[in-house]
Structure 1
Amino acid sequence: MSSPSSPAIDLTAGLLLASLALVWGGSFFFAEIALRELPPLTVTLVRVTLALPVLFVVVRLKGIAIPRGTRIWGAYLGMGALNNALPFSLIFWGQTQIESGLASILNGTTAMFGAVAAGVLLKDEPLSPQKLVGAGLGLLGVAVIMGPTALTSLDPRNLAQLAVLAAACSYALASVWGKRFLGGQPPLMNALGMVTGSTVLMLPVALYVEGVPQLDLSVEVWGAVIGVSVLSTALAYLMYFEILRRAGSANLMLVTLLIPPVAVSLGAGVLGEQISSEAVLGFGIIGLGLIVTDGRLPRRVLGRRQA
């Protein structure tokens, strides 16, 4: 029995997918510049705070009702923690120790962790052998990148890589949280509620740990802050849900493969970063794991052989 086919990617969806990869890949680049003058928790706070009014305006223009119940806002608070506050902070701290391109490669494990988390925690998405194989390949790719001394020598660089992996796990749990508690809400309202929740969480934490953010920033850092907030957060969520509507969640997962090349290219071309051969090989293995997790390409290959 053949599995149901996913919606096709038309020209518009393809352009949106490429644009989403550009702005999400660009978030690592923007963060690298912002971190020159701002500490990581502050970058997270500014990212979600500046994205908030943009999403609020879009929700109001589309006439989407803003819910008032405490339960739904509690769910938004949880989503904001798992999908914004915690992973953004971990990745930005990680980028104080490792290259932006390497951070994006490690973050590419999100889709595989998400598939396993959904298989374990959601009844309607059983944990299949292909998901386990995909996750195994993802972990193998991470092991290749970090090397055999990662667990015996926890220097700041190794800890930074582990922080980015923890962020990927947080994203994975966020996908389960969203399906369980936010499935009945309009997607754009979910984006607004999530960013509101993360802003509420990050404001006291960032102020307590890092103090009041400084405003006398260079033009480059202001540009990076606006870029990571407006482009890589607010605009990214708008494109995300439009691609989801047009092409489905399976095709949307392809952006995971496109983000690291964007981030690595920006890091190498503009910031002068160098990516090791181990990182490139690891990304290839992680990409293979994503293909196995997705399952469509292996099914097509096997189907042709059986025909």
Structure 2
Amino acid sequence: MTVSNRAWAELGILSCVWAASFLATHAALAGLGPVTLVALRLGGAALALWAWIALRGLAGPRGLRAWAALAVMGLLNNAVPFFLITWGQQSIETGLAAILNASTALFGALVAALLLAEERLTLRRAAGVGVGFCGVIAAVGPGALSGLDPRSLGQLAVVGAALSYAFASVWARVRLSGLHPAAAAAGMTTCGALWTWPAALMLEGTPDLSLSAGAAAGTLWLALPGTAGAYLLYYRVLGMAGPANLMLVTMIIPPLAILIGAAVLGEALGPGAFLGMGLILAGLAIIDGRLAAWLRGRAGTRARG
């Protein structure tokens, strides 16, 4: 698929928005509990998306069947993973959270192969998943399960978020194929907020919104560009560049998040995190298939030469 310069530019913008969202989460957690932050993020994103739908004159989701599917999607794609990542970031670096979150595509390939008949786990994809999961183990550290301290639990929470995203992607393919992307995004963020707000009020009480400038900016970033804007941009890039090229976003986010965390927060990750990132990105490259195609092309060129 030929990708325009505009599509490449928007793919880069989407990568930057999502990479910066890890820093925004860190900033917002200075003033809010993790459940309240997720509730505010989803509530703000839902309001923004409904405003976009009204402005564009689009039809929203209709019928109990559609809303039931969106309720599951809001849980699997928003409430659960957003909470797990946010909770995990209380004890781990922003760059490490981004590295572990990149395993979403690995889990996605595995879950799709298990649940969808048309998604066979070919030898190439199996090799990519295997290499990538070695990267997850390297990034988390082999001792994480033996000593469940806050840091280990934070890392495992982000991996759990990636698994939740994987199940959500399969659910969306099976149940949400007929909805306009903006309507689906508005519906699932609304349902995600409805899942999250009762838990936030019960566990963390009425939120104190007298936030510092950094916490307020982080919360607004997560709700508006980081969720509402990112969903709209995601589906736009998907239409222009296709799903294979969109996987590049997953590969770009971790290095960007590491650079942002180092520049703004002075974070320094250990060698295991960088080894893990390399293996995860290698696994994604194998699954993507373009690396193998490029190597075959180079081999063919040398053979002809």
Q: Which runs of 5+ in 1 are unaligned?
A: 1-6
1:254 aligned counterpart, secondary structure: helix
The C-alpha deviation readout for 1:141-185, integer Å capped at 9, x for no partner, is 111122221221111111111100000000111100000000111
Q: Which runs of 5+ in 2 are unaligned?
A: none
Summarize the alignment of residues 91-170 of structure 1 with structure 2, pairs less than 5 Å apart.
91-170=85-164
- Cα distance in 2 for residues equivalent to 1:70 and 1:222: 36
- Cα distance in 1 for residues equivalent to 2:154 and 2:293: 37
Summarize the alignment of residues 215-294 of structure 1 with structure 2, pairs less than 5 Å apart.
215-294=209-288
**Range with greater deviation from structure 2 (124-133 or 236-245):** 124-133
- Cα distance in 1 for residues equivalent to 2:204 and 2:127: 41
**Range with greater deviation from structure 2 (51-60 or 286-295):** 51-60
Task: Indicate yes or no: 2:194 matched with 1:200.
Answer: yes
2:265 aligned counterpart, secondary structure: coil
Cα offset, 1:123, TM superposition? 1.8
Cα offset, 1:303, TM superposition? 4.3
**Range with greater deviation from structure 2 (64-73 or 229-238):** 64-73
AA aligned to 1:128 is T
* TM-score (structure 2 length as normaliser): 0.96
Instruction: Provide the aligned C-alpha RMSD in A.
Output: 1.2
Conserved 8 A contact 2:61-2:179: no
Cα offset, 1:124, TM superposition? 2.1
- Name which of 28, 39, 54 aligns with 2:22: 28
- Cα distance in 2 for residues equivalent to 1:248 and 1:298: 19
Cα offset, 1:110, TM superposition? 0.5
Conserved 8 A contact 1:52-1:234: yes
* TM-score (structure 1 length as normaliser): 0.95
Task: Indicate yes or no: 2:46 matched with 1:64.
Answer: no
AA aligned to 2:133 is L
- Cα distance in 2 for residues equivalent to 1:147 and 1:87: 21
AA aligned to 1:15 is A
Conserved 8 A contact 1:102-1:275: yes
Cα offset, 1:304, TM superposition? 4.1
Q: In the alignment, which residue of structure 2 is the partner of 1:189?
A: 183
**Range with greater deviation from structure 2 (195-204 or 293-302):** 293-302
Residue identity over aligned pairs, in percent, reads 46
- Cα distance in 1 for residues equivalent to 2:3 and 2:221: 27
Moved over 6 A (4+): none
Conserved 8 A contact 1:112-1:131: no
Q: In the alignment, which residue of structure 2 is the partner of 1:3?
A: none
The C-alpha deviation readout for 1:178-236, integer Å capped at 9, x for no partner, is 00000111111111111111011001111111111111111111111101110110111
- Cα distance in 2 for residues equivalent to 1:238 and 1:191: 8
